[in-house]
Amino acid sequence: MLLRSGEWCVRVADLAPSLALDPREDGGGGGSPLGAALLSGRAAYVSADLRNRQQVVKAFLGAEVVFHMAAPDSSINNYQLHYSVNVEGTKNVIDACIECKVKRLIYTSSPSVVFDGVHGIFNGDESMPFPEKFNDSYSETKAEGEKLVIKANGRNGLLTCCIRPSSIFGPGDKLLVPSLVTAARAGKLKFIVGDGNNLYDFTYVENVAHGHVCAERALASEETAKKAAGQAYFITNMQPIKFWEFVSLVLEGLGYERPSIKIPVSVIMPVAHLVEWTYRALSRYGMPVPQLTPSRIRLLSCNRTFNGSKAKDQLGYEPIVSLEDGLKKTIESYSHLRARPRKQISKASIYLGNGNFAKTVLWKDKKQTFTVLLLLAAVYYHLFACGYTFITATAKLLSLTALFLFIHGMLPTRILGYNIEKLEPSDFHVSQEKARQLAFSVSSSWNSVVGIIRSLCKGKDWSLFLRVVFFLLVLNILGAMSIQSAFKIGIPLIFTAFYVYEKWEDSIDSLFDDAASYILKLKSSAAEKLFRQ
């Protein structure tokens, strides 16, 4: 952003020995002009460690403004590391600014400096004090760094201010989006911690850069410097959004399922405490830092929104990229992390007719599957477990159904704040569309069976032959059992076997193919022996 303005020569200082540019930074066209500026000399790179004062002084020589944005990974709860960079490193930055006669220092702080890890923050402003106890070592040391920068304002003509960008996201992010994708691929993002209504302020990275520039301009102007110098400012997109809705939009945009199962904080917090205690006991033996900790649970379930009025009034800051556009640009930049396209229709679904029956057996509609399983359990209880005759059992089931429908019809539409969904006659009516779908499912299943028979008649598909033999063997075993035993074993087997087959379809097919090729080898070797004889 500084380079695009055409007013600045920029020196980038970082820990790496050399600067590795992303493709979008290397060109200049519609992307970042950094690559072109490095070639022309308008930008330079200096390798420096903040913990080494001499290296910092060398990096700052001749600079008019310093933007101090360096910090360790906030997810690593290592107090010694954070203190050495966020506190000792910041002391070195301040001392180097004074020694090199730098005029302005803008420090990138964090909203975490006012978060105690327990109480949520809703529309918090800069009058909020630092908490007595911080959520983690990152927040604590960032707060100490912020205090040092504000205290340094006015020393030898140095003007300072701090900005607190909230939950940064955007292209180039190596923490938020990649960690969400990693969790989604591992199946760990099916759950919502809490009620899912906690609000957050996320800030697009370009708005964060704009906030830095606004802070520098405010310090550079005599008129605004009086107010801005020695102050801290929250920088946000000024568009609070539900935390889990933001996560869902990112995941859906990259082709993953949004979280849907809500887990109360009261349920998961004891588990998080147990994990934390275990880590404290075993960390010395090399146990990795766990993801499930009490502080993280609070972060995922608390409100964290901040008032940007002070930054707007004193720095002239307003977001230049909306949350919607920021999300769109972010998702487009992570095309390499998109979910691999799944097969539209699995073989298991085709074998089951690819209709409602397939959805139920394959757990596509979990509510429907659980309802069917409960009904089957009720049927089993009345038909077998109670010892009734078939007619008696059927009559009792119909009586219970009639009683349920009668009582349900008497209930009001709302009880204790909960809506009661009334059953309508249309719920039991089979529409022409549903009838067509049912007929299509039946005909599709029949055609699948016919297709299997045709393939078997050709005598070439050994993998299919083995699958059919296996299915018939299972059917034969179930057929030899009593109806009660078949019901007990067959129903769970159907709901489990087809689900497992769809989940690991390729692997199971590969095993059958391997078995078929092995049988073919045996067949050919036997044929060779017979031919020789």
Backbone angles phi, psi at 203, to 5 degrees: -130, 125
Element (H, E) at 261: strand 261-263
Question: Under the phi-then-psi rule, with left for phi > 0, alpha for psi from -120 to 50, and beta for the rest, what region is 101?
Answer: left
- DSSP letters, 357-418, are HHHHHTTSSHHHHHHHHHHHHHHHIIIIIT---HHHHHHHHHHHHHHHHHHHHHS-SEETTE
Residues involved in catalysis: 142
Backbone angles phi, psi at 192, to 5 degrees: -105, 125
Number of Cβ within a 10 Å radius of residue 59: 24
Q: Are 238 and 167 in contact (CB under 8 A)?
A: no
Q: Are 196 and 262 in contact (CB under 8 A)?
A: yes
Backbone angles phi, psi at 94, to 5 degrees: -65, -45
- Strand (E) positions, 265-328? 304-306
80-86: which pairs have CB atoms within 8 A and are 24 or more residues apart?
82/137, 82/138, 82/140, 82/141, 82/142, 83/137, 83/141, 83/144, 84/51, 85/50, 85/51, 85/141, 86/138, 86/141, 86/142, 86/144, 86/145
Using DSSP's 3-state secondary structure scheme, residue 175 falls into coil
Q: 282, 271, 280, 293: which is closest to 117 by C-alpha?
A: 293
Element (H, E) at 124: strand 121-124
First to last CA, the chain: 85
Q: 505, 465, 495: which is closest to 370 by C-alpha?
A: 495
93 token code pair: 């930055």
Count of helices and strands (H, E) across the chain: 23, 16
